[in-house]
Amino acid sequence: MGAAAAVAVLLSAAGCGSLSMAAPAQRRVVIGADLSLSGPDSDAGAVLRDALQLRVKELNEQGAITNGKLVLTIRDNRSDAGTSAENIKAFQRDSDTTAAVTGPCDACLTRTAPLVAAGQLPVISLAAADLPDGTAGAGSPLFKLAPNPADDATTLVDLLVSRHAKHVAVVTDLGPYGQATAAALGRAAASRKLDLADPVAASGSVDSITQKLLYQNIQQSDGTVREPDAVVVVAGPDRAPQLVAGLRAEKYRKTVALSAMAADRLFLRDAKLDGCYLDFPPILAMDDQVASTPEKAAQKQWFDDYTSAYGGYRATSGFAADALQIIAAAVNDGGTDPAKLRAAIETTQLDALSGPVRFTPDNHSGLTPQSLDVLQAANSRWHLAG
């Protein structure tokens, strides 16, 4: 041994008391993230990137991983489903990657779901669309953490009934989530004896869509047209305000209800949304609430931390933070072996930031119906309704 090396060993031994007393090396739990950081979905991707980075920092400070720390590896899918698939393959090939989180791109989920299901790497998707048939359930490493179309529809129909709506118009996005929500709305409305008009596609001219919603879609028995008692908007956070503005331009003042798909900022950029209802986890309006339970206190802390770090709360940030919490808890329970980690996630029951999460071997979409509540816009921000 050279003199320098000997001195280094002696100094190390002196600092630790003895070599045998040295603390064991921390394990690195690497989490991959496939996000849209460029292209048309870059704003949504940036929200998740910020949330993941902040939550990794907080969980490491809390010592969430027993004798270890979380490490985040981010890949940009450029808002492209094909690139997303390549990113998933890269994470699957990397033996250091323990699990992955993917963003809210429905097309990316549709493209990558068979790939994930055929592999071993546990992946939690934050996309709104239902997990494709045959890619989830017992033994699959694919999970979802976002509102489900059926739960979204049930909450919206409950709202419509409470507002005494009988005749309802619907405008919907044509993507997987929009179509699934429209179908679920039809079933839920029929069970509550609501008259639901055929959905109008959210694409195209706002003026044309508004005309169809208000004047062409609900025919009376005598052939005349009646204005709907309510309009349900199933569209993303960019399109939904445009559609609401079209309704307001026609002086429509009855109930307008937005699906969870429309949720984004706490503070709204368009006052025309005032009076609208939104179906979403109540953390989006956390500053309206009292932190009266440990769960509410944790939600309040995350809400404040994210707001302080990034200047305003964003709706999907809680899902990203919860995904990391779920993975960290599963690693502590089952270790980093893919099969054991998948089995641990499958039995996760957590009062999360977004609300109650319950995974089972047969249900890999863990956000429960009880996590959803109704918010209402007033003074250009969201509040708990009522």
Cα Rg, the chain, nearest whole Å: 24
Q: Are residues 194 and 142 in the same domain?
A: no
**Range of weakest confidence among 1-10, 193-202, 299-308, 344-353:** 1-10
Spatial contact of 52 and 72, defined as CB atoms under 8 Å apart? yes
Q: Are residues 157 and 275 in the same domain?
A: yes
Q: Is residue 291 part of a domain?
A: no
Q: Give the per-residue pLDDT at 1.
A: 43
Spatial contact of 36 and 77, defined as CB atoms under 8 Å apart? yes
Bridge partners of residue 28, in order along the sequence: 69
Look at residue 385 and tell me whether its pLDDT is greater than 60: yes
Look at residue 24 and tell me whether its pLDDT is greater than 70: no
Q: Which residues contact 37 (CB under 8 A, 6 or more apart)?
A: 45, 46, 49, 74, 76, 77, 78
Q: Of 278, 321, 277, whose CA–CA distance to 299 is shortest?
A: 321
Q: Is residue 207 part of a domain?
A: yes
Q: Give the per-residue pLDDT at 90.
A: 99
**Which among 255, 280, 305 is the end of a domain?**
280
Residues in the chain: 386
Q: Give the per-residue pLDDT at 386.
A: 77
Work out the pLDDT band at 62, boundaries 50, 70, 90.
very high
CA distances from 49 to 266, 304, 307, 311 (A): 18, 17, 15, 15
Q: Is residue 305 part of a domain?
A: yes
Question: What's the sign of the alpha-carbon dihedral 290, 295, 299, 302?
Answer: positive
Q: Are residues 164 and 65 in the same domain?
A: no
Q: Are residues 141 and 172 in the same domain?
A: no
Mean pLDDT across the stretch 49-53?
Answer: 99
Work out the pLDDT band at 116, boundaries 50, 70, 90.
very high
Look at residue 18 and tell me whether its pLDDT is greater than 90: no
Q: Give the per-residue pLDDT at 14.
A: 37
222-279 per-position pLDDT tens digit:
666 678 999 999 999 999 999 999 999 999 999 999 999 999 999 998 889 999 999 9
Residue 99 tokens, joined: 């699990």
Q: Give the per-residue pLDDT at 221.
A: 57
**Which among 280, 314, 341 is the end of a domain?**
280
Q: Are residues 36 and 112 in the same domain?
A: yes
Q: Of 284, 295, 299, whose CA–CA distance to 384 is shortest?
A: 284
Q: Are residues 47 and 124 in the same domain?
A: yes
134-187 per-position pLDDT tens digit:
999 899 999 999 999 999 999 999 999 999 999 999 999 999 999 999 999 999
Q: Are residues 344 and 236 in the same domain?
A: no
Q: Is residue 269 part of a domain?
A: yes
Tell me, what CATH number does 331's domain have? 3.40.50.2300
Q: Is residue 1 part of a domain?
A: no
Look at residue 343 and tell me whether its pLDDT is greater than 50: yes
Q: Give the per-residue pLDDT at 226.
A: 77
Q: Are residues 225 and 301 in the same domain?
A: no
**Which among 280, 312, 333 is the end of a domain?**
280
Q: Is residue 350 part of a domain?
A: yes
Look at residue 19 and tell me whether its pLDDT is greater than 90: no
**Helices within 62-175 (DSSP H only):** 81-93, 106-118, 149-162
Residue 130 tokens, joined: 């239902």
pTM of the complete model beyond 0.85: yes
Work out the pLDDT band at 206, boundaries 50, 70, 90.
very high
Domain of 274 in residue numbering reads as: 149-280
Q: Are residues 201 and 182 in the same domain?
A: yes
Q: Are residues 139 and 159 in the same domain?
A: no
Work out the pLDDT band at 20, boundaries 50, 70, 90.
very low
Q: What is the mean pLDDT of the chain?
A: 92
Q: Are residues 57 and 68 in the same domain?
A: yes
Q: Is residue 112 part of a domain?
A: yes
Q: Are residues 126 and 217 in the same domain?
A: no
Q: Is residue 229 part of a domain?
A: yes
Work out the pLDDT band at 319, boundaries 50, 70, 90.
very high
Q: Which residues of 264-277 are buried (b: 16+ CB within 10 A; e: fewer)?
A: bbbebeeebbeebb
Work out the pLDDT band at 215, boundaries 50, 70, 90.
confident
- With residues binned 3-state (H G I as helix, E B as strand, rest as coil), the percentages for the chain, rounded to 5, are 45, 20, 35
Tally of domains in the chain = 2
